[in-house]
Structures are given as C-alpha cells and as structure tokens.
Amino acid sequence: MDIDWRRNNSLNNFFFNCPSCNLDSHVIVEDFLDKKLQKILNVKAEKLNHAINKGIIKFFQFHGTPALQFKKDVIKIEAGTVIYFKEKIEVIRGFPKIRRTLMLSPTLKNHFKDKIIAEEKMNGYNVRIALVGDEIVALTRRGYMCPYTTKKAVEIMDLEDFFNDNPDLVICGEMVGTDNPYVSHYYEEIGSLGFRIFDIRKKLSNDPLSIKDKQEILEKYGLPAVRVLGIYSVDEAPDKIKKEIKEIGKAGREGMVLKDPEMIIHPLKYTSSEAHADELKYAFTYPFDFGRDFLFSRVIREGFQAFENEENEKELQKRAHQLGESILYPMIDTIKNVDSGNPASEDMIIDIEKEEDTEAFMRHLHDLGVYAVLLKIKGKKAVVRRIHQSTTDKINNFLKGGLY
C-alpha cells in the first residue's frame, strides 16, 4: 500500500506510542491495520486497505489520540464510524440508515412481526454521545466531533452517572430546537435547545437495546427519551398510523419511526405531508444547493400517501397546492433577494458562554467545508450566517443574462 500518511514516520510513531496498539518499533502501521483492525471489525484487510487508498477511511487526531473516520460504508461498517486508539481501542459505529415506507399497508405487515412501537420522529440532527477515554464526546452523523454539540449535550443532560456505569454504551438522539446550528425547528416543549434520545447502542457491535431496556435505563438515569405515540399490532397499525400522521402534521411535527419492540427487525420511517412541504420550502429557498436532491423523493412520498389515503378531489387539491407553493414561493423570494444584491444565506443562532465557543464552532464549520461568517454576538448568543454559494452565483448569472 502506498499511502503517504502511513509511510510518514511521525504518524507511525503516533501509532507506536498508542497504548492500545501494542506495536513494537519494527512493525509498520499497515501491519497493524492488516492484522489487528481486521479482527476487531471483522472486515477483510484488503477491503480496509482499499477504503484507505480511496480516502473512504480517513486518519485524524483527536486531542492527541490517533483515530480513524469512515466517510462511507465499508462492508457492514457504517459511514460515520469512528475508531479511537486510546488505552483501549474504542469503536463507535455510525448510526444505521433508516429505510422509509411509502405505503403503510401491506409494508408494515410484511416487515414487522406482531407488534410495532411508533416513536415520534424528531426533526433536528443526529448525535451519538459516547465516552472516549474519560471524555464525553458528541459526534454528528458523519462522525465529526462537534464542539458546540458536545458542550451543549453535557449542559442539557447529566451524563456522568450513565457513562460511569455504562462506558460501553452509546447514546443516540436528536438535538432539537431553534438555537440549533444545523436543523432549526420549533417545538413548544423544547424552545431553544433540547435533546431527545431514541436509541442506546453498544460500542463496536452497534447492537441496540430493546425498547423496554432502553426505557428502563433512561428512566434510571433521568435522561430524556423521544415520545412513544402508540403500540400497535401489525393488523391495526396502518389505520392508526394514517390517523396519527395527520395529527402530527397539523401540529407542525415531522413524523414517526416505527420499531420492533426487540429492535431486531430494522426500524422504518414515515413522515407527514407538512414535513415534506417544509423540507421542500427549505430546499427551494436554496434551489441550486439542495433543490435537485430533495425534490424527487418528496414528490414520490406525497404521491403514495395521497393514494393510500384515498383522498377526494378537495383533499388532493389541497395537497397539490401545498406541494406547488412550497417549491415555487421560496424560490421566487430568493431570486428577489439575490436581485437586491444579497447572497442566498441563512442565519443560525448558537448559545455561547465565551468567545472561544464561537471560534471553535466556526473552525468546525470551516473543517466541514461550510462557508459561514460570524455576523454578530449579542449577549450569550452568536449569529452565524451560512452562505449558499451555488444558489447565489447561479441566480446572479441568470439575472445577468446567463443561459441555463
């Protein structure tokens, strides 16, 4: 393998000095990856090597600790997996993708066994919280340690006892609320920022606890869980969920994740029409950044939901209006805005205690490749403006006469 970083002596030294690697000085890092890592992950060395060569597995340092991040799935190791080489090798697996059902019937009956637990699907961003050495870290979906999320998670929840007693468990949940730098959404019971836990998983294997075990452990440590909306038999589920999803939509909430009580069968997600419209509004406020990726899937969801609901002419018309308006109106607003000389941008609010918090967060955004500027700091809040460059540039070009 001819990877520069592995031939780089300082990085080799890094691994040699790593207490969990047990390398003697004549073994080079690739040997370690070949022999030890493939055993730990149960993935063949050649697959790991290939992924490293392709840049799918990346090397980085976390507070002086060597670490690996999986940018994409490698066999059954999910994207977002992070491995820290501390005294112990800590493997925090990526959060598994949740497939979507377009139809409730017959899909639920085919997919689940006898009972389905419907949890609320909260609209925020996915966070895994785990212990690395003696440090609590919060990882975002792709496996980045976000300084803001880490700080807020330990402020919002008292996690010490949980992790003292359960160092090998990972808390998976959604950071939600309006002062949320990634997905801002208002929930009346949450307000500016809150956390809701939906899974507890084991490090390395990624096995989830059953719903009952999860509820018990969250209750024991006083940690906040997502709401359970119902427990249904597979036969009654489609009708119940059809009704429930309408209520969820009316309340301006996102949807449901349907789960097997034992968490052996994979969960499925199902979302409200209003949530589809909201996502399209967002996407078409920045049409050249998100429009294409968002559109097809949301239209397909709307089509199947309308069909399954056997909607009448009036209901269909309402849905069609909502869909069309959520695409066209925000886009026209943005064209007007760019025409007035402004960039297509969104402002995110974060809670800060001291100036370093903002700096750390801005650095994190920069590392992620997000173009953002600090607009202002007012008391304990900072306003960060994220610029959507493609949308700004393309609209400017068309306004000046550029061809599509």
Residues that bind ligand ATP (CB under 6 A): 95, 97-98, 119-122, 126, 174, 198, 226, 257, 269
Nearest distance, CB of residue 15 and ligand ATP, angstroms: 32
Q: Would you say 99 or 318 has its CB closer to ligand ATP? A: 99
CA distance 206 to 352: 33
Q: How far is the CB of 183 from ligand ATP (least distance, A)?
A: 9
Instruction: Choose between 16 and 270: whose C-beta lies nearer to ligand ATP.
Output: 270
Cα three-residue angle 368-371-375, rounded to 5 degrees: 120
CB of 394 to ligand ATP, least distance (A): 24
- Spatial neighbors of 404 by CB under 8 A, at least 6 apart, are 398
To ligand ATP, the closest distance from the beta carbon of 139 in angstroms equals 12
Residue (30 or 274) nearer to ligand ATP, CB: 274
Per the DSSP assignment, residues forming a β-bridge with 100 are 269
User: What is the nearest approach in angstroms of ligand ATP to the Cβ of residue 228?
Assistant: 9
User: Based on CB atoms, which residue is closest to ligand ATP, 121 or 319?
Assistant: 121
The minimum distance between CB 196 and ligand ATP, in angstroms, equals 7
Q: Which is nearer to ligand ATP, 50 or 111 (CB)?
A: 111
- Residue 121 or 185 having the CB closest to ligand ATP: 121
If the CB atoms of residues 174 and 274 are measured against ligand ATP, the closer one turns out to be 174
- Distance (Å, whole) CA 403 – CA 115: 55
Identify whether the C-beta of residue 203 lies closer than 8 Å to the C-beta of residue 219.
no
Nearer CB in complex with ligand ATP: 201/388: 201
Point out the residue whose Cβ comes nearest to ligand ATP. Answer: 126
- Give just the sign of the alpha carbon dihedral 292, 293, 298, 303: positive
Contact 115, 233 (CB under 8 A): yes
**Nearest distance, CB of residue 37 and ligand ATP, angstroms:** 25
